[in-house]
């Protein structure tokens, strides 16, 4: 696999979706959770989507429950929560695992292309790092993603060009998206 366009994922209903249909667009692929301290990221994500989608930008949302059981609902419950509370319009896919033996191949690819380099400095980031390390011990070398709302930026050719941990300011994420457009 050389680009994200080589992958097929499942939509909320369980149907296959080739990521090749997004060829030529800038993508932000995000693992999300509805009960996480970072769940408010949905607001700036949706604002960015509304502002930039006409320029060839898409956000692909993949709910995941592997981090402290913060996305326990089924696809319908998660989708309803996101649309009602945050007004999300960007595509949301089937809930997946992003770590371990059952990790979705797309996320294993993304994390291999852009590995984790840390949450940054500061007490909050150090605390998250300790909590994430405890959570991810069970996944060993397949702990690809450290926490909810990890974001991967994909260029128009389907290459992974950046990884943003949930602790990165959303203004920085938006600036990178705009530069890629």
Q: For residue 133, what pLDDT is reported?
A: 82
- DSSP assignment of 72-114 equals -S-HHHHHHHHHHHH---S-BB--B--SSTT--HHHHHHHHHS
User: Are the C-beta atoms of 163 and 152 separated by less than 8 Å?
Assistant: yes
Return d(Cα 96, Cα 107) in angstroms, integer.
10
Superfamily in which the 4-180 domain is placed by CATH: Glutaredoxin (3.40.30.10)
Could you tell me the pLDDT band of residue 41, with boundaries at 50, 70 and 90?
A: very high
Could you tell me the pLDDT band of residue 74, with boundaries at 50, 70 and 90?
A: confident
Signed CA dihedral, 129, 135, 137, 139: sign only = negative
Q: Where are the alpha helices (DSSP H) in the chain?
A: 42-52, 75-86, 105-113, 123-136, 170-180
Q: For residue 123, what pLDDT is reported?
A: 72
- Residue 33: closest CA among 9, 58, 66: 66
Query: Which tens digit of pLDDT belongs to each residue from 141-161?
Result: 888 899 999 999 999 999 999
Which stretch of DSSP H or E encloses residue 63? Answer: strand 57-63
- Model-level pTM? 0.92
Residues annotated as catalytic are 36
* Mean pLDDT, all residues of the chain: 90
Give the single-character DSSP code of 160: E
Q: For residue 152, what pLDDT is reported?
A: 98
Percent of the chain residues topping a pLDDT of 90: 66
Structure tokens belonging to residue 31: 């693992």
User: Are the C-beta atoms of 149 and 41 separated by less than 8 Å?
Assistant: yes
Q: For residue 153, what pLDDT is reported?
A: 98
Taking residues 9-35, what's their average pLDDT?
Answer: 95
Return d(Cα 21, Cα 24) in angstroms, integer.
9
């Amino acid at each position: 696999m050389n680009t994200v366009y080589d992958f097929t994922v499942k939509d909320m209903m369980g149907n296959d979706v080739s990521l090749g249909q997004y060829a030529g667009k800038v993508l932000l692929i995000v693992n999300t959770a509805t009960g996480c301290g970072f769940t408010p990221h949905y607001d700036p994500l949706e604002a960015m989507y509304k502002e930039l989608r006409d320029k060839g930008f898409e956000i692909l949302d993949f709910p995941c429950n592997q981090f402290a059981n913060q996305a326990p609902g089924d696809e319908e419950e998660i989708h309803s929560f996101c649309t009602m509370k945050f007004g999300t319009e960007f595509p949301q896919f089937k809930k997946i695992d992003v770590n371990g033996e059952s990790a979705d191949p797309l996320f294993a690819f993304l994390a291999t292309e852009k590995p984790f380099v840390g949450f940054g400095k500061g007490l909050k980031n150090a605390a998250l790092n300790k909590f994430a390390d405890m959570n991810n011990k069970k996944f060993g070398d397949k702990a690809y993603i450290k926490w909810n709302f990890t974001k991967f930026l994909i260029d128009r050719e389907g290459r992974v060009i950046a990884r943003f941990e949930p602790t990165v300011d959303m203004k920085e994420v938006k600036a990178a998206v705009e530069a890629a457009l």
